[in-house]
Structure formats: C-alpha cells, structure tokens
Amino acid sequence: MAEFLRESRIVKALTDRTIMYESHVRRFWRSVRYDEDEKMICSAVRKKDENDQDIDVEINFDVGDLRRVLELGDSDNDRTIIPERLFKGLCYRMGFTGHVTKKYLMSLFSPPYKFLSHYVVHALSHQKGAYDETSDYIMNIITCLVINRPYNDSQVLFDHLVDNIRGEKYIMYPRFIQMMIDDQVSDLPKDPANVLGLRHMTAETLGRLTSYKGLKKDESEPRAKRMICKILNRNYIAPENDDWRHKNSNSEDETDSLREMHEKKLRYWVVKDMKRK
C-alpha cells in the first residue's frame, strides 16, 4: 500500500514536509478574499523592506497554480463528480463491513485499506476533527486512485479553500497554504519559534489502525482483503461504464451489500437532477 501511494499522483500532497509558520498562515487567512471574476484566491503576507519597514506582499493563486505546486497531475478536463454507487461498490471490495446507508468510517475497513484511508484523510481532508469519518470527496479521490481513473483533485481542494473564505475562515490546509506562499515569496522571515507543529504518526496511532471496531459478541475480525486494481497492478486499466470491477473479475461480488443503497444528495456524488448540492 505504501508503494502504491508513493507512485500515486498525490504523493507530493501526501508527503511534502514544508515547514509551516503560524504568523504567515494566520495572516494569509485574515486577509484572504476570493475574486469571482478571475477565479482566484487573493491574500497577503507581511515582510520587511530594504528600510526594515513592514510591507504587505500579495499572494494570488488559482486552480492551476495549486495543481502545479502540489504536482497533482490532474487537469481541468478531469471530473470532480463520480457516481455514488461506484464509490460504494469499491468500498465493499476494499473490505468495508458497515451498512451501505451508514457513515463510512475508517475503522470499518480491513487493515490495508484502513491505512490508505487514514493517510489520505489526514493529509487532504479539510476537516478540523472527526477523522474516522471519510468524506465523500476523500472517498472519490481514493476510488479514482485505486481503479486508475483521472480525478480533478486540484479543483476539489480549491473549492474547499473558497468555501472557507466564505465561511468561518479557520486556518484550513496550513501546509498547502505555506507551500503556495513559499512558491511566490522566497524571502519571508522564518522564526523557528513561530513554526506551526504537526502531529506525526505515533505508536498510539498505529495501534488504532490495527484494531477493528464494530464486532458483535462472538464475532471475529474479518480477514484482510487482498490487494486489487492499481494497488496490485500498476498497469491496471479502469473498468468501463463507471463500474468498480471488470466483468471477468474473480473477486467477491458486492451486489447483495448494495441492495439497500439510496442515493444521497452530497456535493461530489452524482444526483439524479445533476445539480450540484
């Protein structure tokens, strides 16, 4: 699974170790605005001029800039919406044991896929908490990576940045924001005492990944699902017609698990009227 992630198009977004400075990130979010006409996020950070006076320096970027700096390897032509059934069918292939209409919790996947979800959620999610719950767009990213389909990760991340500008403006995506700042301004003051720390994986975190929740009395932990799709074969070709498996696949069938599925009207899943929710 780690090898699969290292070769994925989101590897830089997952692993980049940019040092974040709290004053830079907070100032960015205090002064940020969204230019509707130019489709650009506009803000400023502060530095000293040649006379040692404080000056503001503009930071402006669009989807293309975010795509370039994070090296996401997608394009504007790639879709941001996939059918909910595609995502849910693949979830069961990855060992999800919950009900099709319930929340998609990382703890209900088999261990290898729990690790995959954990990694992507902690690196790419816009959430401030509840990291066990997997958002629709995070599952779309994972789905398209596993079955080797293009997906416009850049637009999805950009959309959440814009939503934050229109909302409460907490310091969302501090690592990505610092990467955008560093790309445009190379001589900002960098005080070691101002470094914004990250929580790294610990023995406790690993322990949570190896434990399984949701077992009833006398039930045993389900076996780990085998590797599938591009995780198993780097040359894997995605199934046709938004299927999550090839017709001649010899793995278990998920049809019964999907019988009680009802489409939810969520932002990054297809809905019947095709309107964005």
Q: What is the predicted pLDDT for the residue at 15?
A: 92
Of residues 63 and 189, more confidently modeled: 63
Return d(Cα 274, Cα 144) in angstroms, integer: 20
Residue 273 pLDDT exceeds 60: no
The answer to whether residue 147 scores a pLDDT higher than 60 is yes
With tokens 């066990």, the residue in question is 132
Residue 79: count of CB within 10 angstroms of its CB: 15
Per-residue pLDDT reduced to its tens digit, 72-121? 999 999 999 999 999 999 999 888 888 898 888 888 888 888 889 888 98
Least confident of 138-142, 151-155, 262-266: 262-266
State the pLDDT at residue 219. Answer: 64
Q: Which of 91-100, 133-142, 143-152, 245-254 has the lowest average pLDDT?
A: 245-254
pLDDT per residue as tens digits for the range 237-256: 999 888 998 888 776 678 88
| Residue 153 in this model has a pLDDT that exceeds 50 | yes
pLDDT band at 164; cut points 50, 70, 90? very high
* Banded pLDDT at 277 (limits 50, 70, 90): very low
Query: 244: closest CA among 119, 121, 236, 113?
Result: 236
pLDDT at 181 over 70: yes
Query: Across 174-183, 213-222, 223-232, which has the greatest mean pLDDT?
Result: 174-183
Distance CA 52, CA 50 (A): 5
Q: What is the C-alpha to C-alpha distance for residues 175 and 20, in angstroms, rounded to an integer? A: 6
- pTM over 0.75? The answer is yes
Q: For 198-221, write each residue's pLDDT tens digit.
A: 777 777 777 777 766 666 666 666
Q: How far apart are the C-alpha atoms of 230 and 10, rounded to whole Å? A: 14
pLDDT of residue 133: 80
pLDDT, average across residues 181-191: 91
Can you give the length of the chain in residues?
277
Q: Compute the Cα dihedral for 217, 218, 219, 220 and give only its sign.
A: positive
- Give the span between the Cα atoms of 185 and 125, in whole angstroms: 26
Out of 141-145, 194-198, 218-222, least confident range: 218-222
pLDDT confidence band for 136 (50 / 70 / 90): confident
State the pLDDT at residue 203: 79
Residue 103 has a pLDDT of 83
CA distance 166 to 160: 10
- Tokens for 191, please give them: 């005080």
User: Who wins on pLDDT, 273 or 269?
Assistant: 269
CB 140, CB 82: distance < 8 Å: yes
The CA–CA distances, whole Å, from 26 to 43, 57, 169, 268 equal 11, 14, 10, 29
pLDDT of residue 212: 65
